[in-house]
């Protein structure tokens, strides 16, 4: 998309629609306007509405008030009721000169009022003024549309940059314990599926707004960022960790949350633009907590565990089950799903396990789409 505003093309002659049920009036107005504008005519209100709906659409309508069957007031009422025609300027042309008639026409949306007999100089001035106003409005509308498209483009670019940067940062932690970039993509996909499932059922409406879902999904790759602080001798140990080593390993949850919090504190500004980092803190700190209170680092129980962390727990454990580790082969998808189901109400939030089971085919599809390929 261009980063410069669209150039204004050479303007075609404006189209003016004349509406009057007297042929002589149409003839007079047409002769006056044709040297300067493309002129279309309609000899009734109903015909005018039909002409307006066809190409070329008028840029301005000169509308007689006193017509048989459908008068000018009814015509403009219908024009203003239709989104496709409501912005076409209308000048009433009539023999009436009463103030009350003029007020009624203007209230219905007429842009101006010309009385008969028409004085050519006055008519040309008023037609030209209304066309210039319409052209200015059209230019402003086009410029606004272009500016809005540029804002959306920049927002999308910034969003992609944030996503890539977050994944790159998360990969620093993942590669240290032989995780893959696909693990990040898979768990992020699982979390999105769970969020959208719950939101569609009206669950957790305060947390699962469109922005809330976006923040939680963006934050998911940072769940194990704290592993950058774990010594290689422990993180890369091929065998089972002893008690002391396991205690060190468990600190990665707090290390990750503290690192993200420090980055926010150093910014020193309003935390609201960093909604996804607030979710990231909850995920990093709490994704190893368990529904029954037996998890770590704080032994939180039930809904005391933040929702983003509960979502991440299901996603992370499912992915760990289907992934190869030095101490185990990958479990088949169906068996891993059964193991998640077995953790309902103990390891995992029962509501999230139910959501997982309802959407497990989507989990399986994500797992297959981002499968790890062995060297």
Domains and CATH numbers, the chain: 15-146 (3.40.50.2300), 177-369 (1.10.3210.10)
Q: Other CB atoms closer than 10 Å to residue 28's CB: what's the count?
A: 17
Q: Which residue has the tokens 């005018």?
A: 48
Q: Which pair of structure tokens corresponds to residue 370? A: 């981002």
- pLDDT truncated to tens, each residue of the chain (375 aa)? 455 555 444 458 999 999 999 999 999 999 999 999 999 999 999 999 999 999 999 999 999 988 888 999 999 999 999 999 988 999 998 876 656 667 777 788 888 888 888 889 988 999 999 999 988 888 888 888 888 888 877 777 766 666 666 665 665 555 555 555 688 889 999 999 999 999 999 999 999 999 999 999 988 988 988 888 888 888 888 888 899 999 999 999 999 899 888 877 776 655 555 678 889 999 999 999 999 999 999 999 999 999 999 999 999 999 999 998 777 889 999 999 999 999 999 999 999 999 999 999 999 999 999 988 764
Q: What is the CA radius of gyration of the chain?
A: 34
CA distances from 358 to 39, 112, 198, 314, 375 (A): 63, 63, 11, 14, 34
Q: What 8-state DSSP symbol labels residue 208?
A: -
Q: What's the rounded Cα separation, in Å, for the pair 93 and 86? A: 19
Query: Which residues, other chains included, contact 227 with Cβ-Cβ below 8 Å and sequence gap of 6+?
Result: 173, 174, 176, 177, 235, 252, 255, 256
95 token code pair: 């023999």
Q: What residue has token string 């080593």? A: 245
* Residue 176: C-alpha distances to residues 170, 181, 232, 271, 317 (Å): 10, 12, 8, 30, 19
């Amino acid at each position: 998309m261009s980063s410069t505003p669209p150039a204004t093309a050479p303007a075609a002659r404006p189209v003016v629609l004349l509406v009057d049920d007297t042929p002589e009036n149409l003839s007079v107005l047409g002769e006056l306007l044709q040297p300067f504008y493309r002129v279309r005519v309609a000899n009734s209100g109903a015909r005018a509405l039909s002409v307006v709906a066809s190409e070329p659409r008028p840029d301005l309508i000169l509308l007689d008030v006193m017509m048989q069957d459908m008068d000018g007031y009814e015509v403009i009422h219908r024009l203003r009721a239709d989104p496709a025609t409501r912005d076409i300027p209308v000048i009433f042309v009539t023999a009436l000169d009463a103030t009350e008639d003029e007020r009624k026409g203007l209230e219905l949306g007429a842009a101006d009022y010309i009385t008969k007999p028409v004085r050519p100089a006055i008519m040309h001035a008023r037609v030209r003024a209304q066309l210039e106003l319409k052209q200015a409005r059209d230019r402003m509308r086009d410029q606004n549309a272009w500016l809005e498209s540029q804002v959306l483009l920049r927002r999308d670019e910034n969003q992609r940059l944030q996503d890539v940067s977050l994944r790159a940062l998360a990969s620093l932690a993942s590669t240290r314990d032989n995780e893959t970039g696909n693990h990040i993509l898979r768990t992020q996909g699982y979390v999105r599926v769970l969020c959208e499932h719950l939101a569609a059922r009206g669950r957790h409406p305060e947390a699962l707004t469109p922005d809330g879902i976006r923040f939680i999904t963006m934050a998911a790759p940072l769940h194990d960022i704290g592993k950058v602080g774990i010594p290689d001798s422990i993180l890369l140990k091929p065998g089972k960790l002893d008690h002391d080593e396991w205690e060190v390993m468990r600190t990665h949850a707090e290390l990750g949350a503290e690192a993200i919090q420090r980055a926010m504190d150093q910014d020193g500004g309003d935390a609201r633009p960093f909604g996804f980092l607030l979710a990231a803190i909850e995920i990093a700190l709490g994704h190893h907590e368990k529904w029954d209170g037996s998890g770590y680092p704080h032994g939180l129980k039930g809904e005391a565990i933040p929702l983003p962390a509960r979502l991440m727990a299901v996603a992370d454990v499912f992915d760990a089950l289907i992934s190869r580790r030095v101490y185990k082969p990958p479990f088949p998808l169906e068996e891993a799903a059964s193991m998640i189901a077995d953790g309902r109400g103990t390891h995992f939030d029962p509501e999230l396990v139910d959501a997982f089971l309802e959407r497990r085919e989507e989990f399986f599809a994500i797992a297959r789409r981002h499968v790890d390929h062995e060297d």
